[in-house]
Amino acid sequence: MIGKASKISTIVETAKSLLGRPYKYGAVMADAPVNFDCSLFTQYVFLQARVKLPRTAIEQAMIGKRVPFQKIKAGDLVFMKGELGRYNKYFPEGIGHVGIYIGENRVIHSERKRITGKYEDIYRPELIKEEGSVIEEDLVKFIKKKRPLVAIKRYI
């Protein structure tokens, strides 16, 4: 059995090892570890530490222990509304993006930048051109860019 500290270390090390991997909207486990969207990235990284997460960001936010911002620790997931929030009765403000807090005010996440196409074009990939990758950035910058902060959750 893997201990708590070991799991968190595995999460942080795995996330760092994937920096620069390309973004792909709607990526599935078969796309990993080559391409990621934000929630596949968190799902894949946590799976390496033997922690199973659901597929989408809003489903991931439904589980885990809510943590106040002042108590954030490495291995926590940071959920943001982002550009394309998904909504339910538990998160009426929407959740559209997730990143992994790795400590020292840093977050790693798979970020997209849509060049052409609209969200409605999701089922017509020939109309969408995106770029992006797994990046590491300052927590405050992450929150300002993907605002508002919706939840921080702990799974370990």
b/e code 129-140 from CB counts within 10 Å (16+ = b): ebebbbbbeebe
Catalytic: which of 24, 106, 109, 153? Answer: 109
Instruction: Give the closest residue to 152 by CA, choosing from 84, 17, 57.
Output: 57
104 is catalytic: no
Catalytic residue status for 90: no
Q: Which of 7, 21, 81, 97 is catalytic?
A: 97
**Candidate list 15, 32, 38, 150, residue with the active-site label:** 38
CA 102 vs CA 67, 72, 76, 108: distances in Å: 15, 10, 8, 7
25 is catalytic: no
The answer to whether the peptide bond before residue 148 is cis (omega within 30 degrees of 0) is: yes
Q: What is the 3-state secondary structure (H, E, C) of 10-25?
A: HHHHHHHHCCCCEECC
Peptide bond into 33 cis (omega under 30): yes
List active site positions.
Answer: 38, 97, 109
